[in-house]
């Protein structure tokens, strides 16, 4: 029986494009660039976590986030220190997807443990959770900085079992990242891939148990398993 619902943070609960989108709405000079910058920023951010994992050259997620943005801005020919500072400041206050507060509230009301498992550094996650006012509906916010290894290393998923004193089959793990779903599925979690963009399934051995367009239906899904 599932007792514990764990969510990836960036791209799953929090809209990673919201910082660049907000600046694009405010600055006409950035409007033509924000989509490309947001896309490349996220891609390089993820790539750097994987490369740092396999080369054993760990740096915290805030450093990786800055490095990814610097690459994205240079790629778009944007040498603008003020723009960089604004984008980074907004990353600490990323918007949560609309359905997140009510979905987490419903899970808590139904008696489930709830938490975040993220590559994000603790201070970044604290800022995002406070900005979205989610502290009251989360039992734990778990960062890889506890062990300084990025997902999808199996040691990261073990942090959930250690924190909640549960078995892997009691966990529903939700992520918007196919590679994260594959890793957590291999670990033994029940997994849900939130595929907001309608992307193809990743060609990896381990598949999600469920796929959804957003997070709205998770409480009803779990209720149906009882």
Q: What is the pLDDT of residue 1?
A: 93
Burial of 113 by CB count in 10 Å (0-12 exposed, 13-18 middle, 19+ buried)?
buried
Q: What is the pLDDT of the chain when averaged over all its residues?
A: 97
Strand partners, 142: 117
Q: What is the pLDDT of residue 100?
A: 98
Task: Considering only CA atoms, give the Rg of the chain.
Answer: 17
- Contacts of residue 196, defined as CB under 8 A and 6 or more positions apart, other chains included, come to 176, 213, 214
**Mean pLDDT computed over 77-100:** 96
What does the pLDDT look like over 25-70, one tens digit per residue? 999 999 999 999 999 999 999 999 999 999 999 999 999 999 999 9
pLDDT category at 4 given cuts 50, 70, 90 is very high
Q: Would you please indicate which residues are annotated as catalytic (active-site) residues? A: 8
Task: Look at residue 211 and tell me whether its pLDDT is greater than 90.
Answer: yes
**49 DSSP assignment:** H
In SS3 terms, 172-190 reads as EEEECCHHHHHHHHHHCCE
**Mean pLDDT computed over 80-89:** 97
**Considering only CA atoms, which of 167, 155, 159 is closest in space to residue 140?**
159
- Domains of the chain (ranges; CATH) run 4-14+96-225 (3.40.50.1000), 18-91 (1.10.150.240)
What does the pLDDT look like over 168-190, one tens digit per residue? 999 999 999 999 999 999 999 99
Task: Look at residue 226 and tell me whether its pLDDT is greater than 90.
Answer: no
Instruction: Print burial letters for 188-204: b (CB count within 10 Å at least 16), e (below 16).
Output: bbbbbbbbeeeeeebee
Task: Look at residue 79 and tell me whether its pLDDT is greater than 90.
Answer: yes
Torsion of CA 68, 73, 79, 83, to 10 degrees: -90
Express as a percent the part of the chain with pLDDT over 70. 100
pTM above 0.85, yes or no: yes
Per 3-state DSSP, what percentage of the chain is helix, strand, and coil (rounded to 5)? 50, 15, 35
């Amino acid at each position: 029986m599932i007792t514990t619902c764990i969510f990836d943070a960036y791209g799953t609960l929090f809209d990673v494009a919201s910082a660049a989108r907000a600046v694009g709405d405010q600055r006409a000079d950035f409007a033509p660039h924000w989509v490309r910058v947001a896309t490349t920023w996220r891609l390089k951010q993820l790539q750097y976590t994987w490369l740092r994992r396999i080369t054993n050259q760990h740096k915290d997620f805030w450093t990786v986030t800055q490095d990814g943005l610097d690459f994205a801005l240079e790629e778009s020919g944007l040498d603008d220190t003020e723009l960089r500072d604004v984008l980074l400041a907004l990353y600490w206050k990323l918007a949560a997807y609309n359905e997140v507060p009510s979905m987490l509230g419903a899970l808590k009301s139904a008696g489930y443990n709830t938490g975040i498992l993220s590559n994000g550094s603790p201070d970044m996650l604290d800022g995002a959770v406070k900005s979205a006012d989610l502290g009251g509906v989360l039992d734990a916010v778990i960062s890889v900085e506890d062990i300084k290894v990025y997902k999808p290393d199996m040691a990261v998923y073990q942090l959930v079992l250690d924190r909640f004193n549960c078995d892997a089959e009691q966990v529903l793990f939700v992520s918007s990242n196919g590679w994260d779903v594959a890793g957590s599925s291999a670990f033994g979690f029940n997994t849900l891939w939130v595929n907001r963009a309608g992307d193809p399934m990743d060609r990896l051995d381990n598949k999600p148990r469920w796929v959804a367009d957003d997070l709205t239906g998770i409480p009803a899904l779990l209720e149906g398993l009882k």
